Structure 1
């Protein structure tokens, strides 16, 4: 039988159960009415009143708009598929007819009516499919007990763990009078280091930290005062930096370097100090990509002050609100930044793992409806992307409303193909509306997410970077699909953690949009990576109802056929060989999901 022919019927196998003081304050915005998060009690968005209302899900739905309830469903078998009128009238069912039509193509037509397993038709305004949301595990409910927080060779802890008390600000460790100064290539170069020197003239060097202290100790009455203060200790940047839009570490902080598994735990107060230094552009050797930190993201905020765009102003509003919050009340929690590097990766073609549970919704967002789950950051390999520049899409928005994520840019080297960055405990301080050019700061957010035994918010965010494709067809090449599978798996897997203690993964159209990824391929790849990591999946299509139905249907076909991750990977390879290679330009006549459905 040819590789391009249908595989025929498979033997059914039982499915495995995969479980600043006025100086800064003058610039900050007036307080707004606080919106409290409902995450503390974790209510499910079910109820007769909500279910009685029809939920609209047009193509123009804002991918990051107001929180919308996810439609509650009765538990149903996931193997449901829409059926065309013609097929229903003849008593036959062609599975390829359920998928949305490719632009300008007629190879696959979506059916006029979609039928569920119970024989009832899906309404045109359905907003969620798959298993009930209540079936997906969330933290902290599914989390196992944490070991005692203590420093190790691979985990630096910069607070006194023996003095941790609920509601009290952690004490730094070591104390300020025991400062350990390091000016080398394995630690963050801090502005307060005695080695941080500033040339006064050709023969005289001065402590740059003394200059910083003097420049920032005077009151600010305008944006020009801030600009003048910053340039006093960055004189070499006076002509290059543009400020139009703007009109106490005691132990060395290790760098999270490439190909090294390492964790760093800081207090929220320590992180706020790092971010204040970033705002005032004090970090040395970080103003040029030609320096030793060329493989690290920007950290000083100089590029954020450039230009006069509305989006830059909205970014500043969001960040200044964070500074107002942390200066009015000292934050009392901790955060952990973990660089995870996998040396052993799955053999995808031989994987026997069964696909896990799926819930898919075109309403809601990862940060809201995905509370308690592993939340995916659609990352740049330089984490944070353009957050300190002009970028304003999924990753940058998340770094703005959870500003403690930005601190990772100080010490996280660019990610390799087998690496990810996991941030646990980041707090959300702001609400927002819009996306990209329409992004607007929308006031205070009171994060009520519970804390774990280490005093971290039970919010786990993983940064995984997708490949950038200029040609649509190249993403179907075996090498590229394997790379994306490995990257997603690296982000999802937690070696040594029991399956029952793993929350579901909250994700969406990772690597699509500007990166050129195909939404339907990326959905399948993420389902495969989640299955291999033994985690369930909560998928957000950000308003795309067609994608919702297509992904749900292909998942149903896969699970009904008891297809393994390995068998689906083989079908993906066949699609490249039999369809993509024969397509000379543009997109293939036969879509991926039509090809898969004929062979499952």
Structure 2
């Protein structure tokens, strides 16, 4: 029986508040006179209106919490908000996409981060873990409620809709290759294996790549080990044993998360560790060819072969992160015992917002030059500045925001096994991953520092309160290409797909979004334009934002001023969209005269001193 459910959580329906927004905006340009203006006096507070519509004790508790904790805006849970728990410290990484701005004023007051909603405080209690057509569960749910994580039994299949597992090869060659894998990995468990033994084992069942795959990066890593890390042989032996457990731990087909189809997979952290051990030993068949037209050309790579060759400091530090992860998950005392959900979300094009007609004004914004998404954004929906192939260059030389996030929480890497590249109206949400390492630096300065003990609480499905959304921005060889209405709408739609919560869960039960310079840096996005896009998408999704500029104080000051201006004049998302469209339409005229913030400031409030 295939265990699934659609959607992943089925919350109790509660009345939703209707956003009615007043605006009083002066525009000098005649081209905007057609924009609709609405004037409305709001008498009662939001909480009073909601309390009157729903008298349930659960809603009352949530509203009481909101009075003290502030407003915000997705969540997949459903229990009444609790007293704020002690804040946990997540590992550090400098996930920076730096851009400099030349503004010298002090940053103005920003919305307090402590008032933004976070999990588990705004969590709604989950329904029982179960299944249906859109949610595959790889553990036995009956056993789960007896506090056992037992693999769910099914019948493996070998087709394009499911992961092709090494033991499941067609009978014609399954016995030969899987037996070769078993022999090679078994040998690694019986001795104190060296790097040479690992290389020999991997090449013994990957004959066509024996001359193509160098292992110099793995040799360099071994030479650089410090005294605390001198456990290479022991960890390799345990990893080999873990990889050999694949037939016992994965007993049900794993569906491929294909384009244009919403689907979720929930599996245990132990199952993930087994799949990643197999990825390390490069056992997954048909996953090494990456040329256009090859069977998996539309998927990220998963076997670790590309990490072992072409040595550089970046790969050495990546291997430090990964070996610490494997050391943790192969020790009985530190083996994780929770679940993780990977959910591909596709919103049909006809359900995406008509941006010029949106009447929402901007939601609350906390903007700061200090802190990081994964640490200070703990408990919020954390944005992964993703590649359309999730994980980007994590198994190669890439080492910016997405790759660092995947190294801090290597369980994310398993998404590469089954996630087809993201289409323009899709995202991938991952709930429940654990953080294993403390790191510092960025790109060439990245370093693994030490282990991290993750004390994040778990929800009713034993998933840690950590939700990450992979959003791929457009990449522009020429930055001028982004200033078109088509590209503006594409980025708005992509951000909205990632930010939108479960439509059945009221926005008051959804945490804020933790984000930053999405699509800037190597993708050449304009940080000002991308910030406006994310604020607009968050407003329509009815969620607040925490925006981290990664030590760029000038950018934080400028963004705070722009947000304050737009809030003060109650500019709607639709009005702001038309302003941005005008800027894009006439970009050749404006590009050397004013940036997008200066243009919006001038058009929205000519008398403003900001």
CA contact (8 A) 1:196 1:208 kept: no
Matching residue of 1:327:
330
Structure 1 residue aligned with 2:110: 130
Once the two structures are superposed, the pairs formed by residues 477-516 of structure 1 within 5 Å of their partners are 477-494=484-501, 495-516=503-524
Corresponding residue of 1:94 = none
Which residue in the other structure is 1:310 paired with? 313
Residue 474 of structure 1 and its aligned partner are, at CA, apart by: 1.9
CA distance in 1, matches of 2:195, 2:88: 44
Task: State the secondary structure of the residue aligned to 2:449.
Answer: strand
> Which residue is 1:212 aligned to?
181
**Distance across 2 between alignment mates of 1:532 and 1:341:** 17
Alpha-carbon offset, residue 471 of structure 1: 1.9
User: Does the CA contact (< 8 Å) of 2:35 and 2:575 recur in 1?
Assistant: no
Does residue 546 in structure 1 map to residue 554 in structure 2? yes
Task: Name the CA shift for 1:9/1:173 in 2 (closer, same or farther; >3 Å).
Answer: closer
| 1: CA distance, partners of 2:319 / 2:432 | 23
Deviation at 1:288, TM superposition (A): 0.1
Distance (Å, rounded) in 2 between the aligned partners of 1:298 and 1:9: 49
The alpha-carbon distance between structure 1 residues 13 and 470, as it changes in their structure 2 partners (threshold 3 A), is farther
- Say if 2:155 is the partner of 1:155: no
Q: 2:165 aligns with which of 186, 190, 193?
A: 190
Change (3 A) 1:326 1:129: farther
Aligned counterpart for 2:355 among listed residues 348, 356, 362: 348
Task: Work out the CA distance in 1 between the residues paired with 2:547 and 2:485.
Answer: 24
Structure 1 SS opposite 2:166: coil
Is contact 2:95-2:404 (8 Å) kept?
no
Q: In the TM superposition, what whole-angstrom CA distance separates every residue of 1:157-195 from its partner, at most 9, and x where no partner exists? A: 0112222269x5511111xxxx51210010000001141
Q: How many residues align?
A: 497
Any residues of structure 2 matched to 1:416-431 within 5 Å, and which?
Answer: 416-431=423-438
Aligned position for 2:595: 591
- The equivalent of 1:172 in structure 2 is 151
What does 1:219-258 correspond to in 2, within 5 Å?
A: 219-247=191-219, 248-258=249-259
After TM superposition, the score normalised by the length of structure 1 is 0.79
**Which residue matches 1:89?**
none
The Cα shift of 1:63 comes to: 3.5
Deviation per CA, 1:233-275: give whole Å up to 9, x if none.
0010011111111123110100000000000000000000000
Runs of 4+ in structure 1 over 3 Å off: 1-19, 61-65
Alignment gaps of 5+ in structure 1? 20-38, 46-60, 66-98, 102-109, 115-121, 199-204
Gaps of 5+ in 2: 1-27, 47-70, 73-83, 220-248, 605-610
Residue 518, structure 1, aligned to residue 526, structure 2 = yes
Cα-Cα RMSD: 2.5
In the TM superposition, residue 310 of structure 1 has moved relative to its aligned partner by 1.2
Residues 368, 383 of structure 1: CA spacing in aligned structure 2 closer, same or farther, 3 A cutoff? Answer: same
2:94–2:440 contact (8 Å) kept in structure 1: no
Q: Does the 8 Å CA contact 1:505/1:537 hold for their aligned counterparts? A: yes
What is the rounded CA distance, in whole Å, between the counterparts of 1:514 and 1:499 in structure 2? 33
Bigger Cα displacement from structure 2, 415-424 vs 466-475 = 466-475
Which residue is equivalent to 1:293? 296
Aligned match of 2:86: 41
Aligned to 2:448, the other structure's residue is in SS state strand
* 1:3 Cα deviation from its structure 2 partner: 5.1
Note the C-alpha offset of 1:40: 5.9
Mapped partners of 1:274, 1:339: distance in 2: 19
Of residues 140, 146, 164, the one that matches 2:126 is: 146
Task: Give the secondary structure class of the aligned counterpart of 1:538.
Answer: strand
For 2:8, the equivalent position in structure 1 comes to none
1:13 Cα deviation from its structure 2 partner: 5.0
Higher helix share: 2
Partner of 1:527: 535
Query: 2-side partners of 1:384 and 1:588: how far apart?
Result: 36
Q: Which one of 568, 572, 586 corresponds to residue 564 of structure 1?
A: 572
Q: Quote the offset at 1:140 in angstroms.
A: 1.1
- CA gap of 1:535–1:390, structure 2 versus 1, over 3 A, is same
Q: TM (normalized to structure 2)? A: 0.78
3-state DSSP of counterpart to 1:410: helix
Distance 1:3 1:379 in 2: 40
Task: Map 1:375-390 onto structure 2 (within 5 A).
Answer: 375-390=382-397
Q: 1:299 to 1:363 in 2, by over 3 A?
A: same
> Contact 1:62–1:542 at 8 Å: present in 2 too?
no
